[in-house]
Amino acid sequence: MTILISGMRFYGYHGCFEEEQTIGTRFVVDIALTTSNTKAVETDNIEDAINYVSVYELVRQVMDKPTHLLETLAGRIIQSVKSTFAEVENVRVKVCKLNPPLDNQTDYIAIELEG
């Protein structure tokens, strides 16, 4: 089973340039969690499922800590989710930086990482 949480929006101070670290910008994060645990399918009980709100909070906590690289953000998100949810076998994350400092010629830049 794959759980998708798409379009999580954050404001953060990630980047290598001083302006990015001072002014900040908007980010969008998509995440896919793979698990073989399908108990919730049978029980209809939230206790048997991966709590989406908890996943969002983990991502928010990572996004709240300034970093230089999107690669680092994606890696920290994967590590946080996998260490919190033992039933998650694989995590794929996409971190998009909206309005990157490229002379307004690009909508976003993104990193996709899986682990």
41 CB contacts (<8 Å, ≥6 apart)? 1
- Comparing C-alpha atoms, which of 67, 63, 61, 64 is closest to residue 17? 67
Q: Are 75 and 113 in contact (CB under 8 A)?
A: yes
Active-site pick, 65, 82, 94, 97: 97
Q: Are 113 and 92 in contact (CB under 8 A)?
A: yes
Q: Which amino acid is at 42?
A: E
| Sheet with strand 2-12: strands edge to edge | 2-12, 25-35, 88-98, 108-114
Residue 82 a catalytic site member: no
Catalytic residues: 97
